[in-house]
Structure 1
Amino acid sequence: MRRILALLFISVFLVECSTVPITGRKRLNFVSDAQILPMSFQQYDGFLKENKSKIITNTSQAKELKTIGKNIAAAVDRFMRANGMQAEANSYKWEFNLINDPTINAWCMPGGKVVFYTGIMPICANTDGVAAVMGHEVAHAFAKHGQERMSSAQIQQLGGVAVAIGTQNNKNAQLWNMAYGVGSSLGMLKFSRTHETEADKLGLVFMIMAGYRGEEAVNVWVRMSENAKKSGRKAPPEFLSTHPHNQTRIVDLRNYLPEATRLAAKFNQQTAAPRK
C-alpha cells in the first residue's frame, strides 16, 4: 500500500503547478481549457434552452446586469492582456443572463458563462451590489476553479482506488476505506471554501478595477446574513460547509478592502483605461 500511495503522491507533484494571479496561491490543474471549455459552453447552451421561458432580456434589471457584466469582463480582459495571458483572454466567450427564479444564486461556468437568478437581486440591492456578486462569480472562472476541482476529483478517485487495492488483505480494510472517504470529503469541502475566499478577494479587486464601490461587497454579505436569519436557516459548522460562514466573509472582505483598492488603483494607473 505504501508503494501505491507513494506513486500516487509522486505522480501528483510531477504535474506542473501554476499560480493564481493576484492571490499568488499555488494550484494543481491538469484539465486544459481545450478539454473543459467546449463542455462548459455546451452545458450553458443546454441550460438556456431548458430555461428559455425564464430568461429575462428586456427589463432594466436585465440590461443593467449585462452592462455590469461587460464592464467587469472588460477589466478582467485588460488584466489578462497586460499580464501575458492573451491566449486565455481570447478563449473567454462572455455571456450574462438573468433567469426568473426565486433561488438566491448566481454562477459562472468556465469560459465566462454567467447566470444570475432573480432571487439574488434583492440581496444585491443596487448597482454596486450586483457588481460585487458579478466580480465574485467571474473570479471563479478567472482562477480556473472549475478545472482545479475536476483535477482534485480525479486525484481523489485515484487515491480511493489505491487505498482499496492496498487494503484488500487487511483486516482493517473497512476502517481504512472509511477513514479515507471521510478525510477526502472534508478535504474537498475545505478546498471549496478556499475557492470561495479566493473568489471573494479577486472579485473585490475586479469590481473596483471596473469602477464600482468595493464597500458594497461587504454589505452584500451583511444582507445575505440578515436574510438567512429572517428565513430561520441555520448554517452547519464551517468545517462541514462548502462555503465560509457569512460573518467570516464579512470580516475577510473588510480586512482585504484596502489591499484590493490599492491593487485596482495601481493596475488602472498602469493601463490608463477608465471605466466606460
Structure 2
Amino acid sequence: MIRTFGLLTFLSIVFLAGCAENPVTGESQFSLISPAQEVEIGKKNYGPYQQQQGGRYIVDPDLTLYVNQIGQKLAKVSDRPNLPYEFVVLNNDVPNAWALPGGKIAVNRGLLWMLEDEAQLAAVLSHEIVHAAAKHGATQMTQATLLGIGVSAAGMASQNSEYGQLISMGAGLGAGLYQARYGRQQELDSDFYGINYMVKAGYDPQAAVELQEKFVELSKGQQSNWMSDLFASHPPSQERVDKNRQKAQSLGKGVRNKELYQAAIKQIRKDRAAYDLNQKARKALADNNINSALALTHQAIKMQGNEALFHITRGQVYMAQKQFDNSAKNFSKAVALNPEYFLGYLGLGLSQLEQKSSTNAKSNLEKSTQLLPTPIAAFHLGELELAAGNRDKAIGYFQFAAQDQGQIGQAAKQQLAQLQPATTAQ
C-alpha cells in the first residue's frame, strides 16, 4: 500500500512537472521532452532517417531549394517560428511527407509529382509544420516512454540486412527513430492549423481540401505494403475532407502559383518514366526475373544517367548474377553521382569483398556506416577487424550486428559466442 502510494505520488510529480501549454492549440499537454531535447532529437536523427528512405534527391538540387523556400515562408507564420526548420526532398517514389521533432521536415519526390500547384505543396508543408510545432512527435515519444516501449535510434532500424538480401535493398529500409502513428485529433489539428498558416502566407485554403481528396482517392486502391504504412502514419478520411472544406469556405481566396510549381518539378516529371522503369526492375529482381530486371535498368539509365538509384539497382542485379566486377562498377558510379547516400558505399564494399579487395571493402563499408549503420556492414567489418587481430573492435561490430533478426544476427551471435563465451552464456 505504501509502495503504491509512493509510486502514485512520483507519477503525480512527474505529470505536473511535464505539463505545459501546447504552443499551437493552447491546450494543456503532458511531455517529458523539453524544447531543447526536441531540437536535439530532430538534429540527431534527420540524416539517418533520410538515408533509410532513399537519401536526398539531388538530380535537380534547385527543387529542394524551392521546397525549402516555401517551407521557410510558412514556418515564419507558424506558432513556433524560432524552431530550426529544415525542408528536404527525398529520392523516394512513395507519395509521403513527414516531420521529426524540432522542425526537421521531408517531402518525397513521389508526392511532389502528384501535386498540381504551389498551394497544394503549401498544404503539405503546413500540415507537417503543425506536427512539429504542436509537438506531436514529442507526445508520441512521451507515451512510448511511459508505456515502456523502447525508441530505437534511426541507424539501427534496418531489418532487411541478410547478405543475400542486399539485392533487394532500396528506398525505404525502415521507420527510423519512430514510425509516426498520428491519431485522429492530431491529424485534424494539423489540418486545421495548417490551413491557418497557409492563409497567413497568402495561399488558397481550397488546396488543403484538394490534397485530402487526393489521399482519400489514393487510399481506395491501396494494394501494397508501403501504401499501408503511408496511410497508417497519415490516415486519410472523408471527415478530414469535409472539415477542411468547411473551414476553407469561411476564408478568402489566395494564390495558387501553378505555373511556378510546374516549372519547379519539370525535371522529376520528365524523369518519371525512368523511375517507373526502375520500380519495375526492382520488382522483376524480387521475382527473380534477372534478365528482365537488367534490361529495365539499362532503359532507366539510358533515360536518366545521372540518377544514382538506377546504378544501384543495376549493381544489385549484377550481384544477383554474381558478376561482382560489374556490380562494383555500378556501385562506384552511384557513389560518384551521390556521395552522400549510404547504399552505394555498402554495395561497393560488399562487391569488393567478393573481389578479395579487403582494404577497399573496409573503407567503403566504413563510409556506409558513417551515413547509416546497418547490421550487414557491421558484421563484415567485424570479420575484417577479427582477421586483422583487432578483437575488441570486432566484438563491437558483432554486438551491433547481433541486433538483426535474420541470418546476419545469427552469424554475429555465433561469432560473439566464440569471442566471449562467458558473457554469451550469461
* CA–CA distance in structure 2, aligned partners of residues 150 and 60 of structure 1: 34
Match of 1:56 in 2: 58
Q: Do 1:131 and 1:207's aligned partners in 2 also have CA atoms closer than 8 Å?
A: yes
* CA–CA distance in structure 1, aligned partners of residues 14 and 247 of structure 2: 32
More displaced stretch, 149-158 vs 227-236: 227-236
SS for the counterpart of 1:93 is coil
More displaced stretch, 33-42 vs 15-24: 15-24
Match of 2:206 in 1: 215
RMSD: 3.5
Match of 2:35 in 1: 33
Q: Do 1:48 and 1:55's aligned partners in 2 also have CA atoms closer than 8 Å?
A: no
Match of 2:16 in 1: 14
1:3 aligns with 2:34: no
Q: CA shift at 1:23, angstroms?
A: 2.6
Q: CA shift at 1:228, angstroms?
A: 2.2
1:131 aligns with 2:132: no
Q: Do 2:53 and 2:91's aligned partners in 1 also have CA atoms closer than 8 Å?
A: no
Shift in CA distance, 151/54, structure 1 to aligned 2, threshold 3 Å: closer
Q: Do 1:123 and 1:224's aligned partners in 2 also have CA atoms closer than 8 Å?
A: no
Q: CA shift at 1:207, angstroms?
A: 1.2
Q: CA shift at 1:253, angstroms?
A: 1.5
> How does the TM-score come out when normalised to structure 2?
0.45
Match of 2:101 in 1: 110
SS for the counterpart of 1:203 is helix
The total of aligned residue pairs comes to: 218
**Which residues in structure 2 correspond to 1:157-196 (within 5 Å)?**
157=148, 192-196=183-187
Runs of 5+ unmatched residues, structure 2: 150-179, 255-426
Q: CA shift at 1:50, angstroms?
A: 6.5
Amino acid at match of 1:19: E
Question: Equivalent of 2:216, from 212, 225, 230?
Answer: 225
Q: Do 1:193 and 1:242's aligned partners in 2 also have CA atoms closer than 8 Å?
A: no
* CA–CA distance in structure 2, aligned partners of residues 215 and 197 of structure 1: 16
Q: CA shift at 1:151, angstroms?
A: 1.6
Match of 1:95 in 2: 86
* CA–CA distance in structure 2, aligned partners of residues 55 and 216 of structure 1: 25
Q: Do 2:25 and 2:134's aligned partners in 1 also have CA atoms closer than 8 Å?
A: no
**What do the CA deviations read for 1:213-234 (whole angstroms, capped 9, x no partner)?**
1111010011111222244579
Shift in CA distance, 258/24, structure 1 to aligned 2, threshold 3 Å: farther
Q: CA shift at 1:212, angstroms?
A: 0.8
More displaced stretch, 63-72 vs 40-49: 40-49
Runs of 5+ unmatched residues, structure 1: 81-88, 159-187, 266-276
* CA–CA distance in structure 1, aligned partners of residues 203 and 239 of structure 2: 23
Shift in CA distance, 255/147, structure 1 to aligned 2, threshold 3 Å: same
Shift in CA distance, 16/113, structure 1 to aligned 2, threshold 3 Å: closer
Q: CA shift at 1:242, angstroms?
A: 5.8
SS for the counterpart of 1:39 is helix
What is the identity percentage for the equivalent residue pairs of Structure 1 and Structure 2?
28
Match of 1:43 in 2: 45
Amino acid at match of 2:205: G
Shift in CA distance, 146/231, structure 1 to aligned 2, threshold 3 Å: closer
Q: Do 1:193 and 1:243's aligned partners in 2 also have CA atoms closer than 8 Å?
A: no
Q: Do 2:50 and 2:90's aligned partners in 1 also have CA atoms closer than 8 Å?
A: no
Amino acid at match of 2:140: R
SS for the counterpart of 1:124 is coil
> How does the TM-score come out when normalised to structure 1?
0.66
Q: CA shift at 1:53, angstroms?
A: 6.0
* CA–CA distance in structure 1, aligned partners of residues 66 and 136 of structure 2: 26
Higher relative contact order (CA 8 A, sep 6+): 1
Q: CA shift at 1:59, angstroms?
A: 5.7
* CA–CA distance in structure 2, aligned partners of residues 3 and 258 of structure 1: 53
* CA–CA distance in structure 2, aligned partners of residues 54 and 245 of structure 1: 26
**What do the CA deviations read for 1:9-35 (whole angstroms, capped 9, x no partner)?**
524542342222453332111211222
Match of 1:149 in 2: 140
Shift in CA distance, 57/32, structure 1 to aligned 2, threshold 3 Å: farther
Larger radius of gyration: 2
**Which residues in structure 2 correspond to 1:69-80 (within 5 Å)?**
69-76=71-78, 79-80=79-80
